[in-house]
Structure 1
Amino acid sequence: MQFKVESRIGVVAPPERLWSFIADLASWDQWNPVETGVSGAVGYGGAVSLTERIPGLPERVVTAKVSDWTPNSQLVWVEKRGFLFTVARFYEIETLGPENCILANGVIYSGLRGELAFDKQKKAIKPAVVAISEALKAAAEG
């Protein structure tokens, strides 16, 4: 079973502009209020490392693998938390027109303990993914 927290927001910018912020992992500190110190490679199987600072939850270091990516469209990485559950982190861009798109970002919990982790963290995670959406929108439109 999967449990998802997601934020969707309209952005007045071309998808390539949004993607330029998402794909440049080293610059996330400049716009992302939650995921900082990001390093790694955008590509299948690429490793991603970052510090996650979600208000109301302990700060933690995340190490994950890119499981899917499509330039100007999506980035997904998966973090295995033991053998009991996984957390997939995603950024998706839906093109509406040459200068307009929808940005979605969120977290999907799955596995045996995914429901328990989701229940404990969902109240803190929703405002965090909304803050990320708003910050990325502001950066892309600015």
Structure 2
Amino acid sequence: METTRIEKRVGVRATSDRIWEILSDLENWHQWNPYETGVKGALAFGAGLSLTEALPGMPERQIQARIGEWQPYAQLVWAEKRGWLFNTIRYYEIEELERGSCIVSNGTIFTGLRGELFHDKHRSKIRSAYEDISEALRLAAEA
């Protein structure tokens, strides 16, 4: 099975507490994330998560996923089965280097043959959107 990752990392001058406060407020993601909106769900292992994904140059789509992992102040991970041969794992990770200084990663791991084909076709659009998401999260946390 093929696996491909698209990820953006950014330095953020804020505490992991502040970044987590923004990430864990699912219903208000639209205030900082223009590409993943209408987020509904609960932070619990295996809980359902729904949202609208609208990446530039791609059709808007409704996502029904499951929380795979979450750890306060450190990570939020959800998985989506997109078909027989295509799955994604979407994640946000916070690494606090020292108090008030973090590295935040956001990305997707694509698995399966269709995932590889999808990734190859849309790599630049996804990468650009993840850069925008990282910058918007940084600005929100540093405000």
- Give the fraction of aligned pairs with identical amino acids, expressed as a percent: 51
**CA–CA separation in structure 1 for the residues paired with 2:92 and 2:44:** 14
Could you tell me the TM-score, scaled by structure 1's length? Answer: 0.97
* C-alpha displacement of 1:43: 1.4
**CA–CA separation in structure 2 for the residues paired with 1:114 and 1:32:** 24
Which residue number corresponds to residue 74 of structure 1?
Answer: 75
Matching of residue 25 in structure 1 with residue 32 in structure 2: no
Which residue number corresponds to residue 137 of structure 2?
Answer: 136
Which residue number corresponds to residue 55 of structure 2?
Answer: 54
The RMSD of aligned alpha carbons is 0.7
Tell me, which stretches of 5 or more residues in structure 2 are unaligned? Answer: none
Which residue number corresponds to residue 15 of structure 1?
Answer: 16
**CA–CA separation in structure 2 for the residues paired with 1:33 and 1:24:** 15
Tell me, which stretches of 5 or more residues in structure 1 are unaligned? Answer: none
**CA–CA separation in structure 2 for the residues paired with 1:113 and 1:35:** 22
Which residue number corresponds to residue 42 of structure 1?
Answer: 43
* C-alpha displacement of 1:115: 0.7
List per-residue Cα deviations over 1:83-134 (Å, max 9, x = no partner): 1110111000011011100000011100232111111121110000111000
List per-residue Cα deviations over 1:45-100 (Å, max 9, x = no partner): 01111111111111111110011111100001001011111011100001101110
**CA–CA separation in structure 2 for the residues paired with 1:82 and 1:113:** 9
With 115-124 and 70-79 compared, the bigger mean Cα shift is at 115-124
